Chains A and B, each alone.
Chain A
Amino acid sequence: MSKAWDQVTWQELEIGGVLTEPGSARAYRTGDWRSMHPVWDKTRCLKCGVCWTVCPEAGISEEPDGYFEMNDYCKGCGICAKECVTGCITMVPEEG
């Protein structure tokens, strides 16, 4: 569906709400839901990737320098902060 979701008319929906193209989840940035997000203290990060491994939503990406950052799909669950080996991740409330 190339149109934005809030522009689609009922006549344009596929029968049964079937999606014929893949990737619709990519267009919906579930990170909007979060009330907190993780912040890495790079002075204590080992680049071990435990945060990336335990994230249930692929909400953490590896950066070119080998450190990790959240992406637009992080829902702020805090599992990464709980599991981080050195405790370098802090959950910070969203602003605004």
Chain B
Amino acid sequence: MGQRIGMEVSIAVSHAVQLARAEAIAAYPITPQTHIVEHLSSLVANGELEAEFVTVESEHSAMSACVGSAATGARTYTATSSQGLALMHEILFIASGMRLPIVMSVANRALSAPLNIWNDHGDIMAEKDIGWIQVFVENGQESFDHHIMAFKIAENHQVLLPTIINLDGFILTHVVEPLEMLSQETVDKFLPPLVPYHRLDHKKPVTMGAFALPELYAETKMAHQVALTNSYQPILEVWREWGELTGRHYHPVEHYRTEGAKVLLLIMGSLAEVAEVAVDEMQDAGQAVGLIKPRLWRPFPFQDLRQALAGAELVIVCDRAMSLGGAANPVMAEVRSALYPLAKKPPVLGYAVGLGGRDVQPQAFKDLVAHALSEIKQGPSEEYYMVGVRG
């Protein structure tokens, strides 16, 4: 373990991007992503990062500039939140359909209306089908680590997909945490310069972004689907290599005190660390409650989740977003769908928690587990529940 220093997580992320030697950054400031791109802008202005920093008039333009930049073969980065991510929407599909290895931080924040700048996962869950690799982190060190790894994953010629690192707005972005940084030399050895697969080059012209007739469109979607599904192994390979380098090992689905657990909580992002405290207290009190923390959201880790959950007597999925009027909230819907083909499967109950930055304390998880156990005994009274709503 190297020396640990205290640093705001946004600044650590911008240093990760600097260490990765990003060559082009196009971004528009939006709370709570702002500190990341502000600091990168300073690094470029001060000559500490040799990159083109493109200031744009909107996130739609930011992602469009990233598409153009990545098409030339430059290592390309951006960051956004909430309304900014929503404004990028149409270009996000273009970036992944063109298989451009852009890396983006999403500092997760609630969507309007009403206007709310605080943390939940409503922004990214509205973009779950954009065809990007999507990873969730739960603390500052993971934020730093996964940004460097994201470039290596995205640019792998077996992958060639844009990649999002989701980190909770404010809860992570604005908090000072102890972090172990890596030297430039170490990162350079881990992450070689980008080798473009196709690029805009007047000496060898190609057409990018051509149209596809009905006779061909479905084939392009199949190719994209297979590429995203098959990115699973290369992602694991990069994470394994990182584990050897740093001693920090990452898995598509993380377990916390799940041995012998009959009830499993399932949570993505920083709230999982709060749930760990609740799990400790519940286990101390003799309750067999464990915690499952999916890290890889796209490609969806079917087998890892089935292995993690199949033996449980009850699975409680905590979503930090809602699918209003839908069959279930986003994570619950996908987890339950993944379990459905199994002959023996646990019941799944879903709870929407921590919306719009509502604070969630360990006691909330204890209450929620008690509620779920009672509901499962008498038969669920709702399709899914909301936690801590007055009235």
A residues whose Cβ falls under 8 Å from a Cβ of B: 5-6, 8-11, 13-20, 22, 24, 28
Known contacts A14-B198, A15-B99, A15-B160: A8-B207 contact under CB 8 Å = no
Q: Which of B197, B207, B209 contacts A15 (CB 8 A)?
A: B197
Grouping DSSP codes into helix (H, G, I), strand (E, B) and loop, the B interface class, with mixed when no group exceeds half, is loop
Residue of chain A at shortest CB distance from B210: A19
B98 and A22: CB pair below 8 A? Answer: no
CB-defined contacts of B205 to chain A, threshold 8 Å: 22
CB <8 Å contact, A22 and B207: yes
**Chain B residues proximal to chain A, CB less than 8 Å:** 97-100, 160, 197-198, 205-210, 212-213, 215-216, 219-220, 222-223, 226-227
18 contacts between A and B (CB under 8 A): A5-B216, A6-B216, A8-B216, A10-B220, A13-B216, A13-B219, A13-B223, A15-B160, A15-B197, A15-B223, A16-B97, A17-B97, A17-B209, A17-B212, A18-B206, A20-B206, A22-B205, A28-B213
Judging by beta carbons under 8 Å apart, are B219 and A8 in contact?
Answer: yes
Interface contact A18-B208, CB-CB below 8 Å: yes
Specify which of B197, B215, B220, B226 is in contact with A17 (CB 8 Å cutoff).
B220
Tell me the bound Cα distance from A36 to B215 in angstroms: 25
Q: What's the nearest-Cβ distance from chain B to residue A23, in Å?
A: 10
Establish whether residues A24 and B197, one from each chain, have CB atoms under 8 Å apart when the complex forms.
Answer: no
B216 touches A16 (CB 8 A): no
Contact A16 B207 (CB under 8 A): no
**Closest Cβ–Cβ distance, residue B110 to chain A (whole Å):** 33
> Which residues of chain B are within 8 angstroms of A13 by Cβ–Cβ distance?
216, 219-220, 223
C-alpha gap A22/B209 in the complex (Å): 13
Given A15-B160, A17-B97; A24-B222 close (CB under 8 Å): no
In the complex the two chains form, is B210's CB within 8 Å of A24's CB? Answer: yes
User: Is there an interface contact between A16 and B215, defined as CB atoms closer than 8 Å?
Assistant: no
| Smallest Cβ-Cβ distance to A7: which chain B residue | B215
Residues on B with C-beta less than 8 A from A24 are 207, 210
Contacts of A5 in B (CB 8 A): 213, 215-216
Q: How far is the CA of A28 from the CA of B216 in the complex (A)?
A: 13
CA distance A20 to B204 in the complex (A): 9
With A5-B215, A6-B215 as contacts: A16 and B99 at CB distance below 8 Å: yes
| A1 vs chain B, min Cβ distance (A) | 10
Contacts of B210 in A (CB 8 A): 17-19, 24
CB of B198 within 8 A of CB of A15, answer yes
In the complex, chain A residues whose CB is within 8 Å of the CB of B215: 5-6
Residue of A nearest to B100 (CB): A16
Q: Does B219 contact A16, Cβ atoms closer than 8 Å? A: no
A24–B209 Cα distance when bound, in Å, is 13
